[in-house]
Every structure is written in structure tokens, then in C-alpha cells.
Amino acid sequence: MSELTTVARPYAKAAFDFAVEKSDIENWQSMLVFAGEVANNEAMSELLAGSVAASKLAEIFISICGEQLNENGQNFIKVLAENERLAALPAIAESFNALKTEYEKVLDVDVTSASELGVEQQTKVSAALEKRFARKIQLNCNVDPSLVAGLIIRAGDTVIDGSVNSKLNRLKDALQA
């Protein structure tokens, strides 16, 4: 998997740079996600692993994608086929999405709470995180009753654990020391 990610990065970067240049990021994202799903299809995976000529493989792939690909998307598929990289399409789409998120300065944040957060609470958490990270925040809220109360916030490599369960565990460790 890491090999596919390494292979996918330059293709995703090239596609992203082209999409930014043409102000067509959303369209490129949808094309790559769709093409990635086609590449993930079991029958298509077998075809990609076979010994079909690159031009024929590109032709088959483009015909399956149909109107989902514009002319530039079709050219991208042809380049991938020539370089035997069509199997990397799901990883290319994933890398493209990461570049888009970075470009838009949006940070995906996972918030786990003991009970469901209301709209007002989500707004307050989002505003505080926007201030801290200087980015737009996309909240992904989850509920875990084992936390007792409080929140666990995961934003990239940053983890903020303000759950009562965690505080009780730290207190227990301190008392046992």
C-alpha cells in the first residue's frame, strides 16, 4: 500500500496543479474519485493485473467511465495506462483529496464525546479550533459513552483529551505512584 501511495503522489500533484490552473478542482476531484472506484472494481482489478496493451486498457477504462471523464481526464487515464499506473487511481484520488484539503485550508477534526453534541456546542468547539489552528474546521462528531463526560479531539497529529475518563485514569496513576 505504501508503494502505491509513493507512486500516486506525483500524479495527484500534477493533476491537482492542473486543476488549480484551470480552476476546476471540484470536477477533477469527482473524476478521480469515480475513476478510483472503477479501478477498485474486482473485474477491473483483474483486467489491470493482466497483460492487456496500454492503449486497449485505456480505451476500456475510458469507455467504462463514460461521461464522468472530460477530455483532460481521459488524457490523464491514457498517461496512467501507458505508465502502468491505473491500479494506483484510488491512491491518486486520496492524495488529490489531501492536496485539496490543504489548499482550501480545511482541517478535518474528529470529536468524540460522551453524549451527542448540540448545534451550539459544535459551533463553539469549531470556533475555538478555528482560532487555535487558523484554518476552517470540518467536524466529524462521534459518541462514546465510556468517556463519562468531556471530549477527545483529534486534529491530524494533535490530540486533546479532555474526557473525565482520562482524567480519572491520570488521577489513579498519580495516587498509585
Residue 122 domain boundaries: 105-176
What whole-number percentage of the chain has pLDDT above 70?
97
Pair 28, 91 in one domain: yes
Average model confidence (pLDDT) for the chain? 83
**d(C-alpha 106, C-alpha 90), whole Å:** 21
Q: Which three cell numbers stand for residue 71?
A: 477530455
Q: Is pLDDT at 76 greater than 70 in this prediction?
A: yes
What whole-number percentage of the chain has pLDDT above 90?
0
Q: Is pLDDT at 19 greater than 80 in this prediction?
A: yes
Pair 84, 153 in one domain: no
Stretch 58-73: mean pLDDT: 81
Pair 72, 127 in one domain: no
Report pLDDT for 160: 84
Pair 110, 98 in one domain: no
Which range has the worst mean pLDDT, 12-16, 44-48, 105-109?
A: 44-48
Last residue of a domain, one of 69, 102, 135: 102
Q: Among the residues of 109-148, which ranges form H helices? A: 119-133
116: left (phi over 0), alpha (psi -120 to 50) or beta: beta
Last residue of a domain, one of 40, 69, 102: 102
Report pLDDT for 62: 80
Spatial contact of 135 and 107, defined as CB atoms under 8 Å apart? yes
Pair 93, 50 in one domain: yes
- Residue 2 banded pLDDT, cuts 50, 70, 90: low
Report the length, in residues, of the chain. 177
Q: Is pLDDT at 52 greater than 80 in this prediction?
A: no
Q: Is pLDDT at 89 greater than 80 in this prediction?
A: yes
Stretch 16-38: mean pLDDT: 87
**d(C-alpha 123, C-alpha 39), whole Å:** 39
Number of domains in the chain: 2
> pTM of whole model > 0.85?
no
Pair 6, 93 in one domain: yes
Give phi and psi for 143, each to the nearest 5. -120, 130
The CA–CA distances, whole Å, from 64 to 37, 39, 67, 161 equal 11, 10, 9, 47
